[in-house]
Amino acid sequence: MAEITLDLPLVCITARTLPEGWERAVLECWERGAQIQTQYDKPGDPPSRDVTLCLAVAEPFAEPRIHRALPGGMYDLEVYSQEVIDGIHDHWIDPAAGKWQYTYHERMTAYSVPGAPEPVDQLEYVVETLAEAGESRRAQATLWKPGEDGKTDHPACLQRMWFRLIEDRLVMAAHMRSNDAFKAAFMNMFAFTELQARIAQRLAERTGRPIGCGQYNHIADSFHIYGSYFEDFRGFLETLKTRSFEQRTYTTAQVAPLFEEAREKIRAGLERG
């Protein structure tokens, strides 16, 4: 049989923990990715490396849970998580004033539909659907808006979230059209699994039985490493040669004080308006 060549390589990975899965995904992208120019390249930038990713993390809350190579620090990670889960920056949405056009939280909890009397809380729909029939395959939240997103400079990368209960464990999949593998994907994965835990908690309260977090799937149509930061990425590759996996990751307990400090700063900032 003739060898099959794909224009965009398909990478499928199964991992136990989140940092393991992310690390293997970016390495596969670097080693196997198609070399493709992007619309964001500057003159002289090398082509990006690009694959389609299907990542399954069996135990997304197993330790270690955090990779040290994430962009920024624990404050940035906590801010982003609260944006996704609690909508702490939904009040920044004001496209007419040149501000944000949307947030993921706003799209998931207040999705406006032309002709509908009021916005749709899609996460409440997910909880209601699974509380009534955990085996349902209809529990999802959609983020793309065809009438708006094709016209903006920064359309939503996250397209939908899909949820299903399997033996009282909540399985969740995040599907992204585009995902910056090195400088965004880990923060995406971390925040999305925090949302998974929040939905599991709401389901437990609704059903009166314990609901755990099961498998997390991360699907990205374009999982890419931009040529503009290849030098930074090569520095990351060097750490793989000189540090053990334990030295490249954090457990939740190790960074708990930093997260608490971040939460205090966020609370204070929100109180000041």
Query: Where do the DSSP E strands lie in the chain?
Result: 10-15, 34-36, 48-57, 66-67, 140-142, 158-166, 169-180, 212-225, 249-250
Count other Cβ atoms within 10 Å, centred on residue 30: 18
- In this prediction, residue 170 carries a pLDDT of 98
Mean pLDDT for the chain? Answer: 95
Spatial contact of 133 and 125, defined as CB atoms under 8 Å apart: no
- In this prediction, residue 237 carries a pLDDT of 95
- In this prediction, residue 145 carries a pLDDT of 94
Tell me the C-alpha to C-alpha distance, in Å, between residue 230 and each of 30, 58, 130, 256, 266. Answer: 10, 30, 43, 31, 32
Residues 49 and 69: their CA atoms lie apart, in Å, by 19
- In this prediction, residue 244 carries a pLDDT of 97
User: What is the pTM (predicted TM-score) of this model?
Assistant: 0.96
- In this prediction, residue 1 carries a pLDDT of 75
- In this prediction, residue 112 carries a pLDDT of 93
- Pick out the chain residues at pLDDT < 50: none
- CATH fold of 10-272: Thymidylate Synthase; Chain A (3.30.572)
Residues 24 and 227: their CA atoms lie apart, in Å, by 19
- In this prediction, residue 33 carries a pLDDT of 97
End-to-end Cα separation, the chain, in angstroms: 64
| Closest to 207 (Cα-Cα) out of 196, 218, 199 | 199
| Closest to 53 (Cα-Cα) out of 179, 225, 219, 226 | 219
pLDDT tens-place string over residues 253-272? 999 999 999 999 999 999 88
Q: Helix (H, G, I), strand (E, B), or coil: what is residue 88?
A: coil
